[in-house]
Amino acid sequence: MSTNIKVVNPNIVQTRTFGSSPKPVSNPVVTGGFYQSKPVTVREMITRRINKTLCVCLLFTIVVTFISYYIAMNFEAKLNALDREIVRINTENLDLQADLDRYKSFNNVDSKVGEFKLLQKADKVMEVTALNSQEVAPLPPKTPQVPFNWAIGY
């Protein structure tokens, strides 16, 4: 690969070739696509520096935003899990409360029955063997009772 650099001096015209042997130049005019650089003004330098600073600030803000969004999504996922757990526990609590109310109702009925002596407890227990089971004890005659209106409630 060879690179040609032509240097034009009003007095001397030379050609230098890197990577190959030097060749004499017969044409003193420099040709080719060259980038023309304008002198950089102070205003352009300040504008570039401000743009670079703003780009760095923007990138920093974007990174902080992504990190904050990630943290917020993690907290939201944890809150959703806790919410599901709370709903499950509340449902279980409602079931337990219904069972407790039912048992309290049975206790209330039992205490009311005992208070009004609607059921009588046996004074003594008789044990019956298989031999005595064929004899049937006569039932006492039924006496008419006055009906008692009562309600079962909580």
pLDDT by position in tens, the chain (length 154): 445 555 555 455 444 555 555 555 565 676 777 777 778 899 999 999 999 999 999 999 999 999 999 999 999 999 999 999 999 999 999 999 988 888 888 777 777 777 766 666 667 877 776 665 556 667 777 777 766 666 665 5
- Is residue 20 within 8 Å of residue 1, measured between CB atoms? no
Enter the pTM of the model.
Answer: 0.40
Length of the chain: 154
Lookup result for tokens 């909580």: 154
Q: What would the two tokens of residue 18 be?
A: 């890197």
Q: Write the CB contacts of 2 (distance below 8 Å, at least 6 apart in sequence).
A: 17, 18, 19, 20
Q: Computed from CA positions of residues 55, 61, 65, 67, in that sequence, does the dihedral angle turn out positive or negative?
A: positive
Given the structure tokens 């980038």, which residue do they identify?
Answer: 35
